[in-house]
Amino acid sequence: MQVVRDPKTFREACEAARARGARVGLVPTMGALHEGHLSLVDRAKHEGATFVALTIFVNPLQFAAHEDLGRYPRTLEADLEACRSRGVDLVFAPEDGSMYPPGFQTEVAVGEITKRWEGVHRPSHFAGVTTVVCKLFALTGPSVAVFGRKDYQQWRVIERMTLDLDLPIDVVGHPIVREEDGLALSSRNRYLSPEERTRALGIARGLHAANEAWRAGMRDADALRAIVRGPVESAFDSIDYVAVASPRTLEPLEGSATEAVILVAAHVGRTRLIDNLELA
């Protein structure tokens, strides 16, 4: 496995792989890798990638001043070991500053779909994400790029950007990986105290209850929202949103739904968690 730190060397390594006839798969991450990320590597291979590039970059552009950029976990050595044992071919872990050199002033911003839910609570977040992902796409030239569906809105925003900009890349959203008790894997779970971790299960409980109700025939968006909100409200310190939305556009649903995604963001202690469930 090759590890590179500067964008030019990364671009050249990807070009060389393509020149050898490889189908390049990209897995963008911010590191602190867990099984959720590593399952994206497997998925890239499953989608036909014969050369998998994984990027590790805690992208400052997608954090607001009051957010957790400074305390975001950085575990490069363990991440590289995990990549090696999962069969990643190339890791790009850019040096601070090399992605946004002095004079950098370009932003890639997607419209309507970024304005809701996460966009309300983290107004500059998605422009930071789409700017860095666009740069990573340009450097890598992947045939396929895999994102976790835990960041459901992010996946849909990147799909939209790729479509709108005619980028020749298959954007794949890979299902959430959960602990046995239902907690969605997240790099931020390591912030949780044992007591907070127990409370964090409130989201999985709410989503599970909504899934059961859906399977029993419940289709009313308000009722589904209320089923999720109950356990989240009693376990979490505050809720940013519990939304029942159209899976593709993320517009809020009212009345009877034929398909839906339930999106949740809530705070336990100092940690903000997001999770979701698709119903179809």
- The whole-angstrom separation of Cα 200 and Cα 269 is 10
Among 70, 195, 62, CA closest to 136: 62
User: Closest distance between ligand PAF and the C-beta of residue 81, in Å?
Assistant: 19
Q: Which is nearer to ligand PAF, 114 or 154 (CB)?
A: 154
131 touches ligand PAF by CB under 6 A: no
Q: How many residues bind ligand PAF (CB under 6 A)?
A: 10
Site for ligand PAF in 149-178 (CB under 6 A): 151, 154
User: Closest distance between ligand PAF and the C-beta of residue 187, in Å?
Assistant: 8
Binding piece for ligand PAF, criterion CB under 6 A, among 6-14, 44-52, 129-137, 249-257: 129-137
- The whole-angstrom separation of Cα 12 and Cα 2 is 12
Show the 3-state SS of 139-150.
Answer: HHCCCEEEEECC
User: Closest distance between ligand PAF and the C-beta of residue 159, in Å?
Assistant: 12
CB atoms closer than 10 angstroms to residue 75: 16
User: Closest distance between ligand PAF and the C-beta of residue 55, in Å?
Assistant: 7
- The whole-angstrom separation of Cα 62 and Cα 50 is 30
Cα 252 to Cα 52, 109, 206, 243, 256: the distances in Å are 36, 21, 18, 7, 12
Q: Which amino acid is at 266?
A: A
Site for ligand PAF in 193-252 (CB under 6 A): none
- The whole-angstrom separation of Cα 84 and Cα 275 is 28
User: Closest distance between ligand PAF and the C-beta of residue 270, in Å?
Assistant: 20
Q: Which is nearer to ligand PAF, 132 or 261 (CB)?
A: 132
Binding pattern for the stretch 42-61 against ligand PAF, x by CB under 6 A and - elsewhere: -----------------x--
The verdict on whether 37 is a catalytic residue reads yes
Of the residues 37, 46, 121, 174, only one is catalytic, namely 37
Answer for which of 132, 213, 221, 263 binds ligand PAF (CB under 6 A) is: 132
Binding piece for ligand PAF, criterion CB under 6 A, among 38-46, 128-136, 138-146, 190-198: 128-136
Answer for which of 25, 29, 240, 250 binds ligand PAF (CB under 6 A) is: 29
- The whole-angstrom separation of Cα 215 and Cα 21 is 46
- Cα angle for residues 54, 168, 159 (degrees, 5° grid): 70
Show the 3-state SS of 180-240.
Answer: CCCCECCHHHHHCCHHHHHHHHHHHHHHHHHHHHHHCCCCEHHHHHHHHHHHHHHHCCEEE
Q: Catalog residues that contact ligand PAF under the rule CB under 6 A.
A: 28-30, 59, 62, 129, 132-133, 151, 154
Query: Which residues does the annotation mark as catalytic?
Result: 37
